[in-house]
Amino acid sequence: MSEEIVLEAQSISKFFGTITALNDVNLKITKGEVLGVVGDNGAGKSTLMKVLSGLYKQSEGSLFFSGNKVNLNSPRDSQNLGLEMVYQDLALAGNLPIGDNIFLGREPVKKVGPFNFLDHTKRKQLTEEHLAKLKINVKSADQKVEELSGGQRQAVAIARATAFNAKIVIMDEPTAALAVKEVGKVLDLILNLKSLGVSVIVISHRMDDIFSVCDRVMALFQGTNFAESLLKDTSRDEVIGWIMGKKD
Partner 1 sequence: MDKSQDSTFVKLIPFFEKYGILLLILIMVTVLHILQPDVFLSWRNITNVFKQVSWQSMLALGVFMVIVTAGIDLSVGSIIMLSLMGLAIASKAGMPWYVVMLVAPAVGFLCGLFNGLGITLLKMPHPFIMTLGTLYIFRGVGNLISGGVPITGFADEIRVIGNGKIKLDTILGEGTREYIPTSLILMIVIFFIFWVFLNHTRIGKWIYAIGGNPGAARAAGINVNRILIIVYTLCGFLAGIGGLILAGRTNSAYPNAGLQSELDAIAAVIIGGASFFGGRGTVLGVFAGVMIMGILRNGLNLMNVSVFWQQVLIGSIIIIAVYIDVLRRDFSTRK
CB of 185 to partner 1, least distance (A): 12
Question: Half-sphere exposure of 86 toward its Cβ, with a 13 Å CA cutoff?
Answer: 30
Residue 164 binds partner 1 (CB under 8 A): no
Q: Which is nearer to partner 1, 28 or 144 (CB)?
A: 144
Residue 179 binds partner 1 (CB under 8 A): no
Residue 118 binds partner 1 (CB under 8 A): yes
Applying CB under 8 A, the span of 6-14, 25-33, 110-118, 181-189 interacting with partner 1 comes to 110-118
Selected binder of partner 1 within 92, 141, 203, 218 (CB under 8 A): 92
Residue 95 binds partner 1 (CB under 8 A): yes
| φ, ψ dihedrals at 58, nearest 5° | -65, 150
Selected binder of partner 1 within 149, 192, 212, 222 (CB under 8 A): 149
Number of helical H runs and strand E runs in the chain: 8, 12
| φ, ψ dihedrals at 143, nearest 5° | -65, 140
- 210 vs 206: CA distance, rounded Å: 7
- 60 vs 81: CA distance, rounded Å: 21
Applying CB under 8 A, the span of 37-45, 101-109, 186-194, 239-247 interacting with partner 1 comes to 101-109
Q: Quick one: which H or E segment has residue 193? A: helix 180-195
- 116 vs 91: CA distance, rounded Å: 26
Q: What is the DSSP letter of 240?
A: H
Selected binder of partner 1 within 1, 42, 73, 93 (CB under 8 A): 93
Q: Which is nearer to partner 1, 85 or 218 (CB)?
A: 85
- 202 vs 55: CA distance, rounded Å: 18
| φ, ψ dihedrals at 218, nearest 5° | -125, 145
Q: How many residues bind partner 1 (CB under 8 A)?
A: 28
Residue 173 binds partner 1 (CB under 8 A): no
Judged by the rule CB under 8 A, the positions of this chain that interact with partner 1 are 75-76, 79, 87, 89-96, 100-101, 104-107, 109, 115-118, 120, 138-139, 149, 152
